[in-house]
Structure 1
Amino acid sequence: MSNLNNRTLTLERTFDAPIELVWEAWTQPEHIAQWWGPKGMKTEVIAHNFEVGGSWKYSMKMPDGSDFIANGVYLEIIEFEKIRTSADFKPMTEGVELQILLKKNGNKTNFTFHVVHATEEYCKQQEEMGFYNGWGSTFERLNEYLVEKTL
């Protein structure tokens, strides 16, 4: 197995929202549907069994009307701290692991997002395909959603 760091893409943000709200945004379907996916995409939560071994499946409507399916299985859940899940975003990304790490920072929440790929080559390919723009846009939406909720 190659070096984990060479197979991992990471984004970090500080959300101006309490950790409890950020946790809810990641773990409750009615919240997820409001921010998941890049700007302009509508997301439907098809399955959301938030427990270790539980599966999730979201459908995003592409601008051309086609459906983009994302799904996975929860591997580890530590309340207000960590979510680890397998993930497939067919046909663009398959067989990755998402790691959502949260840390309380007063009334704000420090957020670290890792995507672990099977190989270094696959990781580089995903980065070149626009990993930072796609997830960056998604987390902008999450940030806007959290700000709305905290007003």
Structure 2
Amino acid sequence: MSTINDAKNRTLTLKRTFNAPLALVWEAWTQSEHIAQWWGPKGLEVTVVEHNFIVGGNWKYSVQMPDGNVFIADGVYTEIVQHKKIVSTANFKPMTEGVEIQAIFDADGNKTHFTFNCVHETEEYCKQQEEMGFYNGWGSFFDRLGEFLEK
């Protein structure tokens, strides 16, 4: 049996536990004014261009890079389960296109366990993205989220 199309072989995963209740973490992920405070690389300003948080709704964020270039991230929400899961298509131009991102939330008292999956079209693309710094890049986003939640 071939595993070429097996999602686990095409998925990169990061996990975090945030010292914040689920409702607060969910709000940080779903409200534009909060997203702009933590999404993206540390020290860079994020502009939420579009954020229609419904299944089928579009999202688009813009990040001004130090070299003057603009980094665009966009996608379409494909699944939203209140306080449990957010799934969307995603493009992070010019580096990554055509992936699915999954944000999974699990309440644990005043803490929230969080799992982030990024599913790629092929195993080769997945490996390429890992080598390009997936864990450091997204890890820095979630470090910022953790700092934002503690404010």
Unaligned runs of 5+ in 2: none
CA RMSD in angstroms, aligned pairs only: 0.7
Query: 2:76 is matched by which residue type in structure 1?
Result: V
CA shift at 1:64, angstroms? 1.4
Residue 41 of structure 1 is aligned with which of 44, 47, 50? 44
Query: 1:43 is matched by which residue type in structure 2?
Result: V
**Runs of 4 or more off by more than 3 Å in structure 1?**
none
- Quote the Cα distance in structure 2 between the aligned partners of 1:122 and 1:66: 24
- Quote the Cα distance in structure 2 between the aligned partners of 1:67 and 1:21: 30
- Quote the Cα distance in structure 2 between the aligned partners of 1:58 and 1:43: 7
Partner of 1:18: 21
- Quote the Cα distance in structure 2 between the aligned partners of 1:64 and 1:24: 32
> What is the aligned length?
148
CA shift at 1:65, angstroms? 2.2
- Quote the Cα distance in structure 2 between the aligned partners of 1:113 and 1:104: 15
Q: Could you say what secondary structure the match of 2:33 adopts?
A: helix
Q: What fraction of aligned residue pairs are identical, expressed as a percent? A: 67
1:77 aligns with 2:103: no
Partner of 1:57: 60
With normalisation by structure 1, the TM-score equals 0.97
CA shift at 1:38, angstroms? 1.4
- Quote the Cα distance in structure 2 between the aligned partners of 1:40 and 1:119: 32
- Quote the Cα distance in structure 2 between the aligned partners of 1:10 and 1:41: 24
CA shift at 1:132, angstroms? 0.2
